Amino acid sequence: MDKDRIEAVLKETRSFEPPEAFRLRARVKSEEEYEAEYRRSIEDPEGYWGEIAGELEWFEPWQKVLEWNPPHAKWFTGGKTNVSYNALDRHLATWRRNKAAIVWEGEPGDTRTLTYHELHREVSRFANVLRRLGVKKGDRVTLYMPMIPEAAVAMLACARIGAVHSVVFGGFSASALAERIKDAGSEVLITADGGWRRGQVVPLKEAADEAVRETGIVKHVVVVRRTGQEVPMEPGRDHWYHELVEGVEGEAPPEPMDSEDPLFILYTSGSTGKPKGVLHTTGGYMTYTFHTARTVFDLKDDDTYWCTADVGWITGHSYIVYGPLLNGATVVMYEGAPNHPEPDRFWEIVDKHGVTVLYTAPTAIRAFMRWGEQWPMKHRLDSLRLLGTVGEPINPEAWLWYYRVIGKERCPIVDTWWQTETGGIMITTLPGAHRMKPGFAGKPFFGIAPEIVDGEGNPIREPDQGGYLVITKPWPSMLRTVWGDPERFVNQYWSQYPGKYFTGDGARRDAEGYYLILGRVDDVINISGHRLGTMEVESALVSHPAVAEAAVVARPDPIKGEAIVAFVTPVGDVEPSEALAEELKAHVVKVIGAIARPAEIRFAAALPKTRSGKIMRRLLRQIAAGQEEISGDISTLEDRSVVEQLKKGK
């Protein structure tokens, strides 16, 4: 938890009304409208969500909107539908048939536009290909892709035939990929010969090959040609995407899916070493992402919407692919880095494609601030009308910069709090309805019932008190389980406060009902909006032969939000050195991926432990943050000299 940020939020008393020009056209136009709809959504959730789901197409109607046997929720039971049908076919009978669905820009500057008609054809073709490879409803298909249209095509093709996709972020290492393939039991992997990042080719196929070797269960690897570089192709196992789809029919009947049939698995970090396969299902996820996307981003048919996330994260699933396409929106997709070839790439893209709604992360905004105002100033940015942020808490300074320099004080900002597990946006301001307070996420979305509780689970009703953030009612896109580990689902989310969903975040609510997210209260850290478990990094470190013991904590970082500091005890005869520190950093990158690279390794002869042997992380966090005076109780510390050593042990 970053105390400086929280202090800054509380000191920043300015608030900002939604610009009048925006409000007049907004979907939700006032606080009163929001209040009325919110009340209805809470008092009659079945009526409310039934009405929203009814705007989408169902092959067979549901019998019951909600069956709630805590912690198990079923939404739209008995209903049959298909998400790809709703995201594509539903638009083909309308004028949207020839509307741009995906406007893609590659890092080298190449572009492609797919209309809904074309996207439907591509998805159907690839759905047929997958069926021919033997993929059936319920089978898991892993994707390890760059940000190219085929990533969205492959996701939608899986959804079309009822296969469960598991997208693994292209920045993860071969061994992280292997672990996820094995856990999901995927026999099919979809990847590419590479992708572009800062002018370099990301060698996805190489990592994919290594992962496939390690798992021994993958039968087919489909490879999209993106960079054109030579990659080895294993006969019988590896297939070029363009060869598979050639001449294949562009119509594929969508599989009728039960509302509770799985749609996808997405792995995310928790407080143990092993990532969790968060499972989302069909009807509820579809309904919730459809409704949040249009409401929070105020989507209109003439919008050009750009979410800068990667499809490897939940943001990419819900707000690049599913939510916007379910609404028939035009979605911009960009392959590469924000500062390639120059730090104004994003602003160039905004002007080039006429982006109206931009959704990005605080870490990106802080990097733009550092690069300087001159870069956005080179561009008009006058197509923008709404800005969003997601992934981590935003500091008021970054909020105000975004508002002034990018939005020119014309564009409302939505600071959207949610999680992989929640499937969709849970707390935010609504852009035409709510006054904005920099640093506060805002108010609950329709149907969402947050609560702040103390350690015993008692609701804290007075304003401005910190506590744990829980959700007291089920919502359509909540995770249904942890893949292959139903106990972990119950233990992780529903056991702290029975009957309530535990978010893992701390929060406080002000007198007007605005939520301020304080940050994680568990062993999850947030680096540039990417979630990592401290235990994951620790187990990567101890897998190195020179490491006896490791403890990982986060320290506040001005750009990334948080950075990793690892305290390491080397094995007996190993001398700590700068070279070893570098080697260990590279080792973590190899085991997990570049996002997990420790910013700092500190060697110590021993780690501070309580007399019962528990590592004192609170103490390590203080040391990592450079605090001279260690506060709090250290009376249980076994060996006090350790603290002095660690402070020095750079």
**Residue 420 CB, nearest approach to ligand WT7 (Å):** 3
Q: Which of 8, 31, 313, 72 is nearest to 170 (CA)?
A: 313
Q: Which of residues 491-510 bind ligand WT7 (CB under 6 A)?
A: 503-505
Instruction: Kindly indicate which of the ranges 165-173, 199-207, 343-351, 413-421 contains the residues binding ligand WT7, using the contact rule CB under 6 A.
Output: 413-421
Contact set for ligand WT7, span 115-174 (CB under 6 A) = none
For ligand WT7, which residue of 418, 445, 483, 502 counts as binding (CB under 6 A)?
418
Shorter beta-carbon distance to ligand WT7: residue 469 or 581 = 469
The window from 174-182, 200-208, 249-257, 312-320 that contacts ligand WT7 (CB under 6 A) reads 312-320
Residue with tokens 């904005």: 436
The answer to whether 416 and 428 are in contact (CB under 8 A) is yes
Hey, what amino acid is at 65? V
Minimum separation from the CB atom of position 532 to ligand WT7 (A): 9
Determine how many CB atoms are found less than 10 A away from the CB of residue 373.
Answer: 13
Is 419 a binding residue for ligand WT7 by CB under 6 A? The answer is yes
How many CB atoms neighbour CB 625 within 10 A? 14
Question: Which range binds ligand WT7 by CB under 6 A, 68-76, 280-288, 405-413, 416-424?
Answer: 416-424
Residues between 611 and 650 with contacts to ligand WT7, criterion CB under 6 A: none
Closest CA to 81 of 251, 324, 263: 263
Query: Which residue's CB is nearer to ligand WT7, number 263 or number 584?
Result: 263
- 198 annotated binding-site participant: yes
Q: Under 8 Å CB-to-CB from 8, ≥6 apart: which residues? A: 395, 396, 397, 439
Residue 58 and residue 50 in contact, taking contact as beta carbons nearer than 8 Å: no
Residue 270 or 608 having the CB closest to ligand WT7: 270
Question: Which range touches ligand WT7 (CB under 6 A), out of 24-32, 183-191, 415-423, 616-624?
Answer: 415-423
Paired strand residues for 515: 442, 509
How far are the Cα atoms of 109, 210, 400, 428, 501 from residue 590, in angstroms, in the given order?
A: 30, 12, 38, 37, 34
Residue 310 binding ligand WT7, by CB under 6 A? no
Q: How far is the CB of 190 from ligand WT7 (least distance, A)?
A: 22
Q: Distance (Å, rounded) from C-alpha 32 to C-alpha 37?
A: 9
Q: What are the tokens at 535?
A: 């235990």
Annotated binding residue 339: yes
Residue 391 known to bind ligand: yes
- As measured in angstroms, the least distance from the Cβ of 606 to ligand WT7 is 31
| Cβ closest to ligand WT7, residue 18 vs residue 393 | 393
Nearer to ligand WT7, 130 or 263 (CB): 263
CB of 266 to ligand WT7, least distance (A): 9
The sign one gets for the Cα dihedral 37, 42, 44, 48 is: positive
Q: Is 415 annotated as a binding residue?
A: yes
Closer Cβ to ligand WT7, 18 or 504, answer by number: 504
Per-residue CA distances from 432 to 32, 36, 414, 498, 517 (Å): 11, 15, 10, 36, 22
What is the smallest separation between the CB atom of 543 and ligand WT7, expressed in angstroms?
24
- In whole angstroms, give the CA distance from residue 193 to residue 230: 8
Name the 3-class secondary structure at 195: strand
Token duo for residue 613: 């042997």
Among the listed residues 193, 392, 523, 536, the single contact to ligand WT7 using CB under 6 A: 392
Q: Is 417 annotated as a binding residue?
A: yes
Q: Which long-range contacts (CB under 8 A, 24 or more apart) does 625-634 make?
A: 625/555, 625/556, 626/555, 634/608
328 vs 412, which CB is nearer to ligand WT7?
Answer: 412
> In the complex with ligand WT7, which residue's Cβ is closer, 441 or 482?
441
Residue 542 marked ligand-binding: yes
Minimum CB separation from ligand WT7 for residue 46, in Å?
26
Kindly tell me which of 84 and 416 has the beta carbon lying closer to ligand WT7: 416
Q: What are phi and psi of 171, to 5 degrees?
A: -85, -10
Site map 512..541 versus ligand WT7, x via CB under 6 A? -----x-xx-----x--x-x----------
Among 416, 429, 528, 622, indicate the residue that binds ligand WT7 (CB under 6 A): 416
> Nearest to residue 618, comparing CAs of 634, 596, 606?
634
CA distance 222 to 144: 10
Interacting positions 425-444 with ligand WT7 (CB under 6 A): 441
Structure tokens belonging to residue 499: 């009957």
Q: How far is the CB of 552 from ligand WT7 (least distance, A)?
A: 17
Q: Measure CA 616 to chain center.
A: 30
3-state secondary structure of 112: strand
Piece of 42-50, 68-76, 418-426, 479-487 that binds ligand WT7 (CB under 6 A): 418-426
Our CB check for ligand WT7 shows the closer of 238 and 298 to be 298
| Sheet (strand 111-115) strand order | 111-115, 100-105, 330-334, 304-307, 357-360, 386-390, 413-416
Q: Which is nearer to ligand WT7, 391 or 444 (CB)?
A: 391
What one-character DSSP code corresponds to residue 98?
A: G
Residues 6+ apart with CB under 8 A from 216: none
Determine if 424 is a binding residue for ligand WT7 (CB under 6 A).
no
Distance CA 609, CA 603 (A): 15
The response to whether 418 counts as a known ligand-binding position is yes
* Complex with ligand WT7: residue 139 or 392, whichever CB lies closer: 392
User: Could you tell me which residues are annotated as the binding site for CoA?
Assistant: 197-200, 315, 339, 528
User: Could you tell me which residues are annotated as the binding site for Mg(2+)?
Assistant: 542, 544, 547
User: Could you tell me which residues are annotated as the binding site?
Assistant: 197-200, 315, 339, 391-393, 415-420, 505, 520, 528, 531, 542, 544, 547
**Residues contributing to the site for ligand WT7 (CB under 6 A):** 268, 313-315, 390-393, 415-420, 441, 503-505, 517, 519-520, 526, 529, 531
